[in-house]
Structure 1
Amino acid sequence: MEGNLAAVLADRADTYGWRDRPLFHSGAATYSHGEVHDAGARAAGVLRSVGVRPGHRVLIALPDSIAFVAALLGTLRLGAVAVLTGPELSGREHAYVLGDADPRAVVCGPGLVPRFTSVPVLTGDDLADEPASLPDPVPVPAGAAAYVQYTSGTTGDPKGAVHRHTDPAAYHEAMALGALGMVPGDVSFSLSKACYPYGLGATVFFPMFCGGASVLWPDAPTVRGAVEQARRHRPTLLFTVPTWYARLVSGPEPRAVREAFASLRAAASAGEPLLPSLGDRIEEVLGCPVLDGLGSTEVGHTFVSNTVTRRRRGALGVVLDPYEIAVRGEGGVGYEGRPGEDRAAAAAANAAGLGAGGQAAARIGERGALYVRGPSVMIEYLGKPGRTADALGPDGWLRTGDLVHVDEDGFVHHHGRILDQVTVSGERVLPLEVERILGQHPGVVEVAVIADADADGAGEEAGGGALAAFVVADEVAPPVPVLAEELIGLARERLPEHKVPRSVTFMAELPRTSTGKVRRSALGRAELSRNGDGSLR
């Protein structure tokens, strides 16, 4: 589907008779598809009045609101490029995005205006003004940039992934239709905010493409707030990351949570692997299937996922159409696959040792680095040709940085991020393997494992070291000293000695990025001093 994305979405609403259907529920207000597209047209007129033209960039730092959607649609309508960033970020982080993106204008809340004085600044309220005229959608060439979203910055400075006007149609086909089977009667609710990839699809583009509705919730997420939103708006689909599912289902009132979310038919999880034990708990409390999946800022949304018709606990899921993946080891390509392929033929090719281009290949079931290719893979990292070349090959394959294997049924299994690997006793260790064992204890809500920087001989060069576990415990878990001893014992039963954590540190919550990923570097900081029982001081 080509053309200006704002025009494509408005045309769909007209063609399928959705203009009067609810699109966004925000507090006590409900906005129809038609009202939202009209707001986008007005916003385009206001943005044009401050000099925004095709190809210019507009930085948007607004909470989930009609103003956010209007700013996005207005920018797209002008053929300009929306740069999406979280309004909750620090002044330093906003300054970085401002300098990196070099926008022609900024749209933000009143409290953020002083941060962006170097360019014309509008507030969300300004976009509701009646402009002198409503500009027609600007025709855009195939492959034109539409919006930029920044990576979480866990491996360096955040990078702006540039996406096209056509990209949301691709990941809508994959996740909304292929994995969830979304229909006009669905109401989606995402605890991940719309300025970030997961929330942008779930909250904005999925309902606009399928004629459904979603919840616009401007507040910072809390369990109590999420329950109140669910009671009011009765969502059928929930989107968030494992840490928020853990908070929802591990509180003191699981019955209240289940009653509030009784309207759900499915829950989708991404951001980090979902521990099987947490998945079981989610389904028990929410009363619906939870679908683990894998996506990235560079792809725009989810490209591997369990689906409402095909799922397997402990696996990330299957490759979603229209994407294809490759699993590459040192000897070549271990697996190449796409939805609907002949699995027997793929298995035979792997057994024969053949991969792409005739390279030597590992067999199905052997792990390697994950690559993905598809129509929504980013154009580039904004202004970073070297980093783009490192991640994105000339053949369109994106290196994700994940270590996986694919089983004979086509399910993708995650072994962790390649950069998270550590060396202990001279051997490479994947923290996710240890985390999955510790996560089997009923007293564990969340867990992260890293190399213990305080251990003698720690570090790759020394080949020694040890592991340290950081745990968020359930409210009804045993006392800290007892739980720490039980976790060490559990690891010792299931794992070789060098994979058994030397220490267990208990935390109220794990440090995370704005997109929900654990900040492992923060866990290793010296200021995390420990008591004798392993708990934080």
Structure 2
Amino acid sequence: MLFHDIFAHHPKERIAIIDQDRSVTYGEFQDLVERWAAYFEALGVKKGDRVGLVSKNCLEFVVTYFAVIKAGGVIVPINFQLVPREIAYIVKDTAMKLLVVKEKLPLEEPLQELSASPLKQLTFDELLHAPDREFVPVSLTEHDPSTIIYTSGTTGKPKGAMLSHGNLYANARDFMESIPLTADDTALCVLPMYHCFAWTVCVAGPLLRGGRIIIQAVYQFKAAMRLVKQYGVTMFTGVPAVYRLLHESRDLDSVDSVRYFISGGAPLGLDLARSFALKFGRPVLEGYGLSEASPVVSVNLPHKVKAGSIGPTIAHVEAKIINAHGEEIPHFERGELLVKGPNVMLGYLNLPEATAKAIEKDGWLHTGDVGYMDEDGFIFLVDRVKDMIISSGENVYPREIEEVVSAYPGVEECSVIGIPDALRGQSICLYVVSREGETIDKKALRQYLIGRIAPYKVPREYFLVESLPKTALGKVRKNVLRDETVDILSKNKFAGRAL
């Protein structure tokens, strides 16, 4: 099935999307998509042309996405928080034909600096007032590219993961087998739609099943809770920070209607997972994915949850754990997670070597994550391969330390990184954000860690900060922390040291 056809068979009178004071039925939504697709054709968008999209969550975002791919184009959703220089990089990398925006962006200068061609920008207002034209169907297959998702860039320059119509359709279909939504369900989309996690879980999945989507332009906790209560939301999707706020909230009645709490984007944490389930009587179904896998790989099941796990793989997706020699290893042994299935990307745009490195000839995708699998097929992640620290010859996984630190009184969140150390190879550094009104003593924290983790895992450098640099989905940008730490310690040898 072509991705833009996933909602074509639903009753036309059923409500599809609610965006503030606006709502559209499935019939109205289909008509809008076809009308805008015809206008994109009139503007010269042809099969394979890349069309950018910069916007906060809104009805127009969803219509544009489907209209572009229906016209044969390849949609390139872009993080609206990026500065013009960063957007210009994506424009040039994709040889973008057109950029759809709410308001036109100042891109002329950064595009000139990159020696990129001028770019036509089209606003939502122009699309809303576009004249009616006849849509001419385009010959497409499930193997044709439909979208390019740029990685968050936690390390190096962002890469464009090319996803096909088949990738996106299969991922939405297979995720819905694990989380069995029906036409009677209502999903709230508070996460940014430019990210494929929100797109697949909050938009594509519910539309495939004929459900109803409630849109929040930008996440705001209290407003989100009001929407849950107002519309009887049955599937709520968030990142760990959202669930932490919900766990601390006293208004338990606001989420009575929710059947499924879905979490992704970053590790939920054992303590939060267990205490949330006790408080609300329903577990958070933690899942896992990456842009290169469209993105969902696995998720805990409503009838079977293992705290600390990212669940078993969704239907039609395989997983295995390999050692440093590329050999598959037994249950409970740690190694790199590889996945295979109809969700695996076509490849990275303009990067054949990176594609060959990421995807084996037999279709297995390297995730870059370290973990293990139990006898039931549930996957437990330990850390990123790139984040693993080698200190005094010992392998140290930051997430192990972070789990222990997170349980210390007054800790809101934390992050562990490794920096070059002439004596040990790498030195372990800990960044901690305290809860509001709490004070953390670095010496006391270090003493707390001694005896709870092996001596070689105890951090040597401690930094108390107000916040951690993150991607839009809440992943800590450890590359930024590493650069800042090296800079600080090079200026002051003893800066931040606990003892």
Q: Same fold (TM over 0.5)?
A: yes
* TM-aligned CA deviation for residue 474 of structure 1: 2.9
Q: State TM-score, norm by structure 1.
A: 0.85
Summarize the Cα distance change of 1:416–1:472 in structure 2 as closer, same or farther, 3 Å threshold.
same
Shift of 1:50: 1.5
Task: Report the Cα distance in structure 2 between the residues aligned to 1:291 and 1:486, rounded to whole angstroms.
Answer: 34
Select which of 25, 28, 49 maps to 1:35. Answer: 28
- Paired residue secondary structure (1:493): coil
In structure 2, what residue type is equivalent to 1:424?
S
Correspondent of 1:401 among 348, 357, 368: 368
Decide which of 291, 296, 299 is 1:297's aligned counterpart. Answer: 291
2:453 maps to 1:495:
yes
Counterparts of 1:426 and 1:305, CA distance in 2: 34
Superimposed CA distance per residue, residues 472-515 of structure 1 (whole angstroms, 9 cap, x where no aligned partner): 333364x222xx44432332121111111234333333210123
CA–CA distance in structure 2, aligned partners of residues 316 and 202 of structure 1: 15
* Aligned equivalent of 1:470, options 431, 440, 453: 431
The one-letter amino acid of 2:303's match is T
Amino acid at match of 1:523: L
C-alpha distance in 2, partners of 1:242/1:302?
A: 17
Q: Distance in 2 between the 1:271 and 1:230 partners?
A: 21
What CA distance in whole angstroms lies between the structure 1 residues aligned with 2:279 and 2:461?
Answer: 31
What's the CA shift for 1:130? Answer: 4.1
Q: Distance in 2 between matches of 1:488 and 1:144?
A: 54
SS at match of 1:466: strand
Aligned equivalents of 1:228 and 1:262: distance in 2? Answer: 12
Q: Distance in 1 between matches of 2:232 and 2:142?
A: 39
Task: Indicate the SS of the match to 2:163.
Answer: strand
Matched, 1:187 2:186: yes
Residues 137 and 425 of structure 1, relative CA distance in 2, 3 Å threshold: same
Q: Offset of 1:425 from its aligned partner? A: 2.3
From the superposition, tell whether residues 522 and 325 of structure 1 become closer, same or farther in structure 2 (CA, over 3 Å). Answer: same
Deviation track 1:439-493 (CA, whole Å, cap 9, x = no partner) reads 2235333221112x4xxxx43x64255322222333364x222xx4443233212
Q: For each residue in 1:113-161, what CA deviation from the matched residue of structure 2 results, as whole angstroms up to 9, or x when unmatched?
A: 6558912221112222243413143220340111111111112111111
Asked if residue 49 in structure 1 is aligned to residue 9 in structure 2, the reply is no
1:276 aligned to which of 270, 276, 300: 270
Output the CA distance in 2 between the equivalents of 1:113 and 1:46: 24
CA contact (8 A) 2:54 2:100 kept: yes
Alignment of 1:304-323 (within 5 A): 304-323=298-317
Query: CA–CA distance in 1 between the matches of 2:473 and 2:91?
Result: 19
Q: Conserved in 1, the CA contact under 8 Å of 2:104 and 2:122?
A: no
Task: Kindly state the Cα deviation for residue 535 of structure 1 after the two structures are TM-superposed.
Answer: 11
Q: 1:513 aligned to 2:474?
A: no
Give the Cα separation in 2 of the matches to 1:299 and 1:446.
28
- Aligned to 2:242, the other structure's residue is in SS state helix
SS of corresponding position for 1:185: coil
3-state DSSP of counterpart to 1:312? coil
Q: 1:106 to 1:332 in 2, by over 3 A?
A: closer
Residue 259 of structure 2 is matched in structure 1 by 265
CA apart distance, 1:206: 1.0
Please tell me whether the aligned partners of residues 389 and 426 of structure 2 are also in contact (alpha carbons under 8 angstroms).
Answer: no
**Equivalence for 1:147:** 147
2:114 aligned partner: none
Shift of the 466–200 alpha-carbon distance from structure 1 to 2, 3 Å rule, reads same
| Distance change (3 Å), C-alpha of 1:134 and 1:509 | farther
Q: Which residue of 2 aligns with 1:342?
A: none
Number of residue pairs aligned between Structure 1 and Structure 2? 486
Higher mean displacement: 425-434 or 116-125 = 116-125
Residue 406 of structure 1 aligns to which amino acid in structure 2? M
2:323 is aligned with 1:329? yes
Task: Specify the alignment match of 2:63 in structure 1.
Answer: 70
Matched, 1:382 2:322: no
**8 Å contact from structure 2 (residues 300, 306) kept in 1:** yes
Per the TM alignment, residue 86 of structure 1 is displaced from its structure 2 partner at its CA by 1.5
Partners of 1:262 and 1:474 lie apart in 2 by 27
Q: Is the 8 A contact 2:317 2:340 kept in 1?
A: yes
| Secondary structure of residue in 2 paired with 1:333 | coil
Summarize deviations over 1:21-62 as a string: whole Å, max 9, x none.
122121122222222111111111221222111121111112
The superposition leaves residues 274-299 of structure 1 with CA deviations (integer Å, 9 ceiling, x where unpaired) of: 21012124335555310111100000
* Contact 1:303/1:320 (<8 A) preserved: yes
Q: 1:399 to 1:311 in 2, by over 3 A?
A: same
CA contact (8 A) 2:177 2:314 kept: no
TM-aligned CA deviation for residue 96 of structure 1: 0.9
Asked if structure 2 preserves the Cα contact closer than 8 Å seen for 1:506 and 1:535, the reply is no
Shift in CA distance, 533/93, structure 1 to aligned 2, threshold 3 Å: closer
Match of 2:388 in 1: 421
3-state DSSP class of the match of 2:403? helix
Q: Give per-residue Cα distances to partners, 1:88-119, cap 9 Å, x unaligned.
A: 21112101110111111110121426558912
Q: Is the 8 A contact 1:42 1:128 kept in 2?
A: no
Q: Aligned to 2:293, what secondary structure does the other structure show?
A: coil
- Mapping 1:94-109, distance limit 5 Å: 94-109=87-102
2:223 to 217, 222, 225: 225
- With over 3 angstroms needed to count, the CA separation of the structure-2 counterparts of 1:502 and 1:148, relative to structure 1, is same
- Which range moves more in the overlay, 392-401 or 103-112? 103-112
Secondary structure of 2:473's aligned partner:
coil
Q: Distance in 2 between matches of 1:476 and 1:405?
A: 38
Q: How does 1:160-175 map to 2 (within 5 A)?
A: 160-175=160-175
Q: Secondary structure at the match of 1:438?
A: helix
CA distance in 2, matches of 1:283, 1:24: 30
Supply the RMSD in Å over aligned alpha carbons. Answer: 2.4
Alpha-carbon distance in structure 2 between the residues aligned to 1:285 and 1:471: 26
**Aligned in 2, Cα 1:46/1:189: closer, same or farther, shift over 3 Å?**
same
TM-score (normalised: structure 2): 0.91
CA distance in 2, matches of 1:134, 1:202: 32
SS in 2 for 1:298: helix
Cα distance in 2 for partners of 1:237, 1:503 equals 41
Q: Mind listing any 5+ residue stretches in structure 1 that lack a counterpart?
A: 335-361
| 2-structure distance, mates of 1:196, 1:77 | 20
Paired with 1:113 and 1:207, the residues of 2 have a C-alpha distance of 35
- Counterpart CA distance in 1 for 2:357 and 2:169 is 26
Does structure 2 retain, via aligned residues, the 8 Å contact 1:72–1:82?
A: yes
Q: Percent identity?
A: 28
